Structure 1
Amino acid sequence: MPPITSPQNERLKDLRRLARKRGRDEMGRFVAEGEDLLQAADAAGWRALERYCATGSGLGGTEVEPDVLQHVSQLGSGTRALAVYEQRWAPAPLGPLAVYLHGIADPGNVGTVLRSALAFGAACVVLGPGCADPFGPKAVRASMGALFQVPVARATSVAELPGETIALDAHADAGNLAGPLTAPATLLIGAERAGLPAELVAACDRTVRIPIHSESLNAAMAATIALYEATRGLGALDHRMDAA
């Protein structure tokens, strides 16, 4: 098959649609860019629906002239390879250890939480109202391939979350988060400024805080510290298996 040479190619138009959330929602697909992410998808058993690479790169897939490929790339530095995948949503939040995000509008934070969830053996990242799309370009990049290994789910109430529900609130008059957690649990993280809604906190089993000297932590940093503390001394894989 000859390489694609025009930015107006219909297949490339679909790629540009997938750069927008509306397009991703309508098509149920998303794009991952860069050799490392595509290798991570392959290793996790995700089958690409379509694969594109710069002409002459030898990376496999439909060849596209490099300057034309840059027209659909969402990377500032451009890319040599990208692929399209079906979105995968878990039908329900999974335990034994889950992270729930509420109002995390920064896609970089959502992707970073996915990366931390993989590092510490969380079974699922659950997205509540106001969260960025985990399948958006920035979130996919920030996940560094974790999106292909950590299930993502949606939830609208605390009742849907597995195990003990533990709300992190920087301003709470509550004890410090102390691990390890040896029973199933969900850690609830809110946006840096707004935090978790009061009614959500009230519905949780308990509220804890991370002791810090400043006012607040970036949401992804808070989630990472909480996951470390939750699995401290257990080992991420051991925690996942023992608590199941």
Structure 2
Amino acid sequence: MVIDSASNKKIKLMESLRLRKHREREGLFRIEGVRLAEMAAESGWELRFGLYTAELLEKERGRQLLAGLRERCPLYEISAPLGKKVAATDTPQGIFLAATQQKTDLSELAGGGQSGRKQDGAEQPLFVVLDGVQDPGNAGTIIRTADAVDATAVILTKGSVDVFGDKVVRATMGSLFHLPIVADVSAAEVAAFAEAADCQLLATALDALAKPHFAVDFRRGSLIAFGNEGNGVSEALLRAAAKVYIPMYGRAESLNVGVSSAVVLYEAVRQRRFC
């Protein structure tokens, strides 16, 4: 089927999903670009519908992608100008999907991630907490790093960026589809969950009582909180957590939160898999 009108309901819906209020109302989000669409097609996430331009059919990769997507959801061809109209990028690749937001409740992770990814052998769960992280690039990078280290799940506290926003989805590079993500959780709920799951709650902080990150035993079940770009981890969460820091010996005042997450999480990998 071909859509040739900018007033078409599918076009208007895809455009509206740029805004958080519409994503939340519809329970949908946008997936844009060939690689992300390929990963979405391979995932178990529900796809509502897709829009594509004729230019996508000129490439073998595009034809293969559409063949796979036709088994997953209705597809509609649109013109290149309409493709630019609905795009969130400067150089759209001619494929746009509306997908159902797949949300996980904190209670579903009880027992160390029963609805998360299976952990190797006796390995303990590893939860990554984004506490008020608001930059889409940072949030996407941390989710991607959490996926790389085989974390059990990612938990976002209230006030964090919308994980289903265009920029966050692109920054995850498909890792959004690979692990459970819990959003809009309070600091109190994070602390209660850590206790119920028998996990240590850790928070990155420059504090006199903080331990160097390599002095912490990450072989235990752990929740590791990374804080807001400007203010760090919230006081409410700091009061409930043991504090860790990354030693720095040059003149830099701090590390980007995305970098910090990689440093700490790969220390957990080193301890869990190489010690």
Give matches, 1:1-244, under 5 Å: 1=1, 3-58=2-57, 59=62, 60=66, 61-92=75-106, 94=109, 95=112, 96-154=125-183, 155-156=185-186, 157=188, 158-161=191-194, 162=197, 163-178=199-214, 181-204=218-241, 206-212=242-248, 213=250, 214-235=252-273
> Partner of 1:57: helix, strand, or coil?
helix
How many angstroms does 1:10 deviate by? 1.3
Q: Which amino acid aligns with 1:41?
A: A
- Provide the C-alpha distance between the structure 2 equivalents of 1:168 and 1:132, rounded to a whole number of angstroms: 19
> Partner of 1:78: helix, strand, or coil?
coil
> Partner of 1:70: helix, strand, or coil?
helix
User: Which ranges in structure 2 are unaligned for 5 or more consecutive residues?
Assistant: 67-74, 113-124
How many angstroms does 1:24 deviate by? 0.3
Over the residues paired in the alignment, what is the CA RMSD in angstroms?
1.9
8 Å contact kept, 1:24–1:30 = yes
- Provide the C-alpha distance between the structure 2 equivalents of 1:183 and 1:43, rounded to a whole number of angstroms: 33
Q: Which amino acid aligns with 1:164?
A: Q
Indicate the larger mover: 35-44 or 87-96.
87-96
How many angstroms does 1:224 deviate by? 1.4
- Provide the C-alpha distance between the structure 2 equivalents of 1:8 and 1:218, rounded to a whole number of angstroms: 42
- Provide the C-alpha distance between the structure 2 equivalents of 1:72 and 1:180, rounded to a whole number of angstroms: 48
Over 4 Å off, 4+ runs: none
- Provide the C-alpha distance between the structure 2 equivalents of 1:172 and 1:30, rounded to a whole number of angstroms: 43
Indicate the larger mover: 89-98 or 77-86.
89-98
How many angstroms does 1:43 deviate by? 2.0
- Provide the C-alpha distance between the structure 2 equivalents of 1:11 and 1:193, rounded to a whole number of angstroms: 39
User: Which ranges in structure 1 are unaligned for 5 or more consecutive residues?
Assistant: 240-244
Number of residue-to-residue matches in the alignment: 235
Q: TM-score, normalised by structure 2?
A: 0.80
Q: TM-score, normalised by structure 1?
A: 0.90
More helix by share: 2
- Provide the C-alpha distance between the structure 2 equivalents of 1:146 and 1:199, rounded to a whole number of angstroms: 29
